[in-house]
Chain A
Amino acid sequence: MRLQYELANYLVATWRIARPTDKLPTSHGVLDRALEKALPMMAPQFRTALSFVETSIGRLCSELPDILRAAQESYLTSEPNPTYRTADVKIDAAIALDLLDQLAIDLDDAKVFGLELAKRVDEEVKALREARAA
């Protein structure tokens, strides 16, 4: 359980550093698939904590709902709005850096993962748009 909160801190802090003004995608399995693709860049202590399983609506990260809830419980992101597809990141850069300090994550490594995750999210969103257009 503690690991879920640490993962939440890591995920939100790295996203905040990579995309200071962007919201965190929370629907359509976008973040799930992006996380799986960005997994090789993830901090080693978290890499094995995630599992990805097939569900009726696609491949999803089993732990992600718990991680996103942990982020909400710790006031890192906004509470989910039933009609929104994203969550606001509430923390500023200073707090993101502080969270990474507490996790003993190297800042450069955190940036690399954050940017990779953001890139993968972009790819997933693009793929969804293309599927819609088709």
Chain B
Amino acid sequence: MVAGGEQLLRALKEAAPGLYQQVNGLAERWLSPLVLFPDKYRPAQDKHINDPIWGTITLYPWEVALLDTELVQRLRGVKQLGLAHLVFPTAVHDRFSHACGVVEAVERMMNHIDRNTLARQRSGPPEDTSPIIPERDRYLIRLAALIHDVGHGPFSHAIEPVIGRLFWQELETLTKALRDHIKRTGSVQVSEAIAVLVVASDAFQQVLALPMMDQVRHGRSTADISHPLISAIVGGNDGKAQGALSALVSSQVDADKLDYMARDAYHAGLPIDFDTERLISKLEAVRVDKNTVSHRLSSLGERIDQQGGSYQDIGISAGGTGAFEQMLVGRIFLYDRLYHHHKVRAADSMAQRLVHYADPGGQSLSLATLFASLPDDTVVRAFGGLDINLGTAEQPIKFPSTPASKELSDSIVGRALYKRAFAFAGRFIAGLDTEPEQTDDDVVGWSEAEKDAERQRVMDPVNRQLADVQDRLSSEAEIAELAVEIGSKFPPEHSLHQESLGLKSHHVIVDLPRDPHPPRVTTIARNADSRLDVPDVFFDPARWATVYALQRRTGYVFAHPERRAIICLASRIWFLKRFGCILGEAADRYAKCGSLVHKSAYAVLEEAGVLDSTQREYFERPRLIYVPLDLKPVHVPKEWREADPDFVARFNTEFAKALPRGLSALAERELVQTLRGVFSTMHSWSADKDFVTGTISNEPEFQTLLRRALRQIPLDITEAARVAGGITDLISSRRVLIENKFEKDPTDKPFDLVPHAALQGRRYVMHTGQSFCITAVAYRAKTEIGRLPAHKCVLVRRHSEVDFAEIVVAIRFGDTDPSRAKQPS
């Protein structure tokens, strides 16, 4: 559904009534002086501002009027890079200068688009032209650029999750309303949502109605010009010439990025350069129709038809591809060197926790508080208890504060930033090192794929369980609690004991970085032959950038500087117990925390019962983790569990006795899933009278049946002959051998038939690297006694002479009495 301005504004207010009410109140406070005394604000002529990025920025009178309201002026206090200036001292620029820069950037973009349009009109075919951008559209896009960031609260992006938590439900319905009413609306950030609601506010609508805005309205209603304004903020595009211009404010190549990347690098003092001028000069208004799109864009056909045969978009010409690539790649360097610098991450996380601990229940915070027109530095102090009241007697604006937020506030103000106490990443998992650092404890003979499978085992739950702020806060509380417990095990004079005294959750921060969205090429490009295509034909810079970010991605536990050692120790133990993972020395070196904990501490903790001897050994000699088999009820047929409720527990216990040292975690998962498949197959075969009464002639035939059934599960089943020379054996995944046996003579004791099968299975040890196998025995029952129900056809036994565990499963066939084919449990 696409609607006019009135409908859009109504829909937005209805979608987020609570959030709108608060934003409406803020907008009234910020804009009422302009509404009441417009003549005081409107300068007689344009204003020119000096700027280190763009040289001179020119603003129209109505823009200056809006610029001088609290709506935009408050952005002077919002630092563009949050607390990054604590690490990069000159990175103190604010969102105000950025907003001005974006206005200049869109102006230059529009100028170049028009110049390129005129050039094509001179030289190209008549149908290959787009209209020159009318003044009224220029004014609107510039206005959108000016206000695009007014939804930012203190510390810029660091605060967004807090607002997101307060209003998550309304933010979801608001996004849906935007997508319903504005074509091509993508994901909507919290700050964008607030900016959109500012446009919808009564006060902003009154500003748009002022006579000074005549040229912007150009005969249109305020609601009607609100539509393209909002569309530009969220990057919508209705396919018309005006709608396409939204891309200049919000898209892959937008003025926002062109300004902030250059500005951030400049103010941080980082020599990361962008060919901004080149990129801007290659922007074009493109007419998209079926004759111009490449086959890769053939899916646009439907949209082209819906738009009457063609529509307008913004793209780049082929000559700008290099500058475009440089922009995508350079952005990743900015993330690595600046936005995700470990100290910047610590500072930003501290700001986020500051707001959280000031009002843990989210009961006291309102937008009026968060968006009080105060500089970030003052907001830090306010959450630390500094008495600031900006409101009225009837409506006081008080910043909530607690002892925890005060401590965090003092740390930020005093630049006592939290330090790295623990680093985690898949590449740091102990035991997976390769030359030249390989040790005796590293796995030998594992392929890179197998190592990645082990990394997957650890990092998948880490990523899931630490993805959300709430989960990280819970983890921080657990680590803090563990640190206190650990500290109490050391003598009072010990430094670890001292560090643990009074230790609370807010002294620990778990941080796992993620930039908002991975880059993906969504820009359209005009090739030399005038065809429109995606500019990634030979090289996709977005993928390159993603690879770089992935390789560098490292999670940290940050600690209060005076409690670093105890939090380091607690984090290591918490990670082992929670994720079954020991990290190698490389992690400590990376985070510069290798010397924080002396190895003797682990012996103390073993004696105190915090660690068992195996865990202590892991910490003293980091290596790959071995775990006990953990078969779960879901892996066993329901009927078996009903017939024998202790089946799962008994099986795990028996296997632990048979193989006391356990399994590599990867082998454990493979064995569990293979057993699940084997048990499921046994169950269905035992219930199938055709199978139970059928004939199996020999081992190869039995193996074929079993192989087919397990592949149906589906498991990865390989003929063992291909890997280790066996003829009638199977290998499931990489590590689970299934030794097949067939007994042609009837017996009532199928487990006695294959006493040496395990010894045969051992010949695969070199291949599977495991000390266990499954032996599947096909047998015919001699008497009624031998007709065992399927759940009793499983046996675990240890072969101590060769240190080997064997799981024997007996599979019955060849019953002569069909009526007894399905055995009662």
Residues on A lying within 8 angstroms of B by beta carbon are: 1-2, 4-6, 9, 17, 20, 27-29, 33, 51, 53-60, 62, 65-66, 68-70, 72-76, 79-84, 90-95, 97-99, 101, 111, 127-128, 131-132, 134
Contact in complex: B714, A90 (CB < 8 Å): no
Contact in complex: A57, B521 (CB < 8 Å): yes
Does chain A have a CB within 8 A of B704?
A: no
Contact in complex: A66, B716 (CB < 8 Å): no
Partner of B187, one of A54, A62, A90: A62
Does chain A have a CB within 8 A of B449?
A: yes
**Which A residues are in CB contact (< 8 Å) with B299?**
29, 33, 58-59, 127
**Which B residues are in CB contact (< 8 Å) with A59?**
299, 303
**Which A residues are in CB contact (< 8 Å) with B523?**
56-57
Does chain A have a CB within 8 A of B501?
A: no
Contact in complex: B732, A94 (CB < 8 Å): yes
Candidate in A54, A79, A83 with the most chain B CB atoms within 10 angstroms: A54
Does chain A have a CB within 8 A of B460?
A: yes
Residues on B lying within 8 angstroms of A by beta carbon are: 179, 183-187, 237, 247, 251, 295-300, 303, 313-315, 426, 449, 452-453, 455-456, 459-460, 463-465, 467-468, 471, 514, 517-524, 534, 536, 538-541, 543-544, 546-547, 550-551, 553, 632, 634-635, 669-670, 672-674, 676, 713-716, 732-734
Partner of A20, one of B179, B519, B547, B716: B716
Give A33 to B297 CA distance when docked, in angstroms.
13
Partner of A93, one of B468, B517, B673: B673
Candidate in A27, A73, A111 with the most chain B CB atoms within 10 angstroms: A73
Contact in complex: B184, A53 (CB < 8 Å): yes
**Which B residues are in CB contact (< 8 Å) with A56?**
237, 247, 251, 313-315, 522-524
**Which B residues are in CB contact (< 8 Å) with A29?**
299
**Which B residues are in CB contact (< 8 Å) with A73?**
459, 463, 550, 553
Chain A residue, CB-CB nearest to B456: A75
Closest Cβ of chain B to A30, distance in Å, is: 9
Closest Cβ of chain A to B769, distance in Å, is: 15
Candidate in A5, A92, A111, A127 with the most chain B CB atoms within 10 angstroms: A92
Contact in complex: B524, A2 (CB < 8 Å): no
Given contacts A2-B467, A53-B186, A82-B543, whether A94 and B521 have CB atoms under 8 Å apart is no
Partner of A131, one of B184, B295, B517: B295
**Interface CB pairs A-B, < 8 A, 19:** A2-B468, A5-B464, A51-B179, A54-B184, A59-B303, A65-B517, A66-B517, A66-B518, A73-B459, A90-B453, A91-B453, A93-B733, A94-B669, A94-B670, A94-B732, A95-B670, A95-B673, A97-B676, A101-B632
Give A4 to B539 CA distance when docked, in angstroms.
27
Given contacts A53-B184, A128-B298, whether A1 and B468 have CB atoms under 8 Å apart is yes
Given contacts A56-B523, A72-B550, A93-B715, whether A9 and B468 have CB atoms under 8 Å apart is no
Closest Cβ of chain B to A67, distance in Å, is: 10
Contact in complex: A1, B467 (CB < 8 Å): yes
**Which A residues are in CB contact (< 8 Å) with B517?**
65-66
Contact in complex: B544, A82 (CB < 8 Å): yes
Candidate in A56, A76, A97, A99 with the most chain B CB atoms within 10 angstroms: A56
**Which A residues are in CB contact (< 8 Å) with B247?**
56
Give A53 to B303 CA distance when docked, in angstroms.
12
Candidate in A20, A33, A57, A79 with the most chain B CB atoms within 10 angstroms: A57
Give A94 to B713 CA distance when docked, in angstroms.
10
Chain B residue, CB-CB nearest to A67: B518
Candidate in A58, A68, A83 with the most chain B CB atoms within 10 angstroms: A58
Chain A residue, CB-CB nearest to B544: A82
Closest 3 A/B residue pairs (Cβ): A131-B298, A75-B456, A94-B673
Candidate in B179, B520, B538 with the most chain A CB atoms within 10 angstroms: B520
Closest Cβ of chain B to A71, distance in Å, is: 10
Contact in complex: A5, B674 (CB < 8 Å): no
**Which B residues are in CB contact (< 8 Å) with A92?**
453, 670, 716, 733-734
**Which A residues are in CB contact (< 8 Å) with B514?**
1
**Which B residues are in CB contact (< 8 Å) with A27?**
536, 540
Give A78 to B449 CA distance when docked, in angstroms.
10
Closest Cβ of chain B to A55, distance in Å, is: 5
Partner of B541, one of A20, A70, A82: A82
Chain A residue, CB-CB nearest to B543: A80
**Which B residues are in CB contact (< 8 Å) with A97?**
673, 676, 713, 715
Closest Cβ of chain A to B434, distance in Å, is: 16
Contact in complex: A74, B459 (CB < 8 Å): yes
Chain B residue, CB-CB nearest to A58: B299
Give A53 to B187 CA distance when docked, in angstroms.
9
Contact in complex: B518, A65 (CB < 8 Å): yes
Give A55 to B315 CA distance when docked, in angstroms.
12
**Which B residues are in CB contact (< 8 Å) with A74?**
456, 459-460, 463-464
Partner of B540, one of A70, A75, A82, A111: A82
Contact in complex: A94, B733 (CB < 8 Å): yes
Contact in complex: B426, A75 (CB < 8 Å): yes
